[in-house]
Structure 1
Amino acid sequence: MKKTVSVVILLAIGAFAAYSFFNGNMVTGIVSLVVLILAGLYVLGSSDDEKEDEKKTLNVDENSAHSFVGSEGKPDFEQAKKIREEMLKNVKQDDVSLEINAAAGLMLNQDYEGSKRAYESIIIKYPQSKGECIGQIGVAEFFLGNYEKALENYIEAKNNGEDNNMTEDNIWEVCELLHKKSGSSKAVEQYLSLYPAGRYIKKANKLIS
């Protein structure tokens, strides 16, 4: 029974990762893949009742997953590209999705400037996609090391209707990094002003206390 439930959970995580890639959301897609891999390893390692009793729940640390694409390190783009290609093989896409995925492909090829230009072009052609595209431009700026610009883009994405959970994760990540690099509490205070009841409020208050 537990194994069946675990498989259902894995399928749900995989579906979410596919949905994220389909919509061009690289960070969420890659983080979802990390969670999927960790969850899969747990399920494979729990092949008998004794092991299942020893470990009844799987707790994936959000910082470990997010670090796969965060800070100043680089994610495993090659692996992400392979998995993304498989996920998109049999997915029917409209014109907007095709262009967004092309821009996302440039991101995975680490052509960040090219990806930014592609997303900027999409905004002009499809203004309704502005929030999503601005958020991904922020991701490109993040990987380029332009953390202040990344933060500006993330906030603009939030103000243009991009997924609130995603923007909060991105905004907190870059605010925390800016705090570590400068020692200033300005960025963390900015996060608190944007998300006074946010998921990272305890960490934020600890940093500025």
Structure 2
Amino acid sequence: MATSRPAPGVAGRALAYLESAKNLTGSACALGGLALTLTGFAGTYWPVVVAGLYGAGALVAPPTRPPAPEFPDPSSRLDALRADVTTLREYLDQVDLPPAATERLGSLTELLDGLLAPGWVSQALADDPEAVHVLARAVHRDLPEAVDAYVRTRWWTRLAPGQQDPEEQLERQLALLHGEAEELVAGLREAEEIHQRTHTRYLEDRGTT
């Protein structure tokens, strides 16, 4: 004959309640009720007194608070992004690019290195999730796709010249990405300028009080 088993988690919930602040506080109050009983203050109603004190203690105890989830620190994402930039640079070093594109690409990677350099600059970047997203998108998708599309299109163009120059398209794409990175830098700079002006106003207002 099959025997019924407690539902999964019942024992765990029971043990959690035994260790909870509500049970501990209620038990402490109930012990106080027993002490009153032993001294004769509770009389024949001691079970009611003990139960009532336990319930009162359980009610006033703070509720069980589950631990808040812990998420990775934003700076840890930048650590991974630095490693990805190194991988990207190793890939780019293997590609034969036209001089103009190479120069534009070098300027762009310098911007990336400056933004990701460990220190207060990268900390300012980490505090802006949208900026991190833009930077990660450029490293993970936009730059590799631009260069790879150039390599593939250039091969087909050598077999059968097309209407568009792949070198020109690559330079336009890199210029757009460079402009996007410059806008990101400008946004971070503006945030610092706002912070500086806010501190100035705070000092001015404090001086007038």
For the aligned pair, the TM-score class normalised by the smaller chain equals: under 0.3
Q: Give TM-score scaled by structure 2 length.
A: 0.26
Greater C-alpha radius of gyration: 2
Q: Give TM-score scaled by structure 1 length.
A: 0.26
Larger RCO, structures 1/2 (Cα 8 Å, 6+ apart): 2
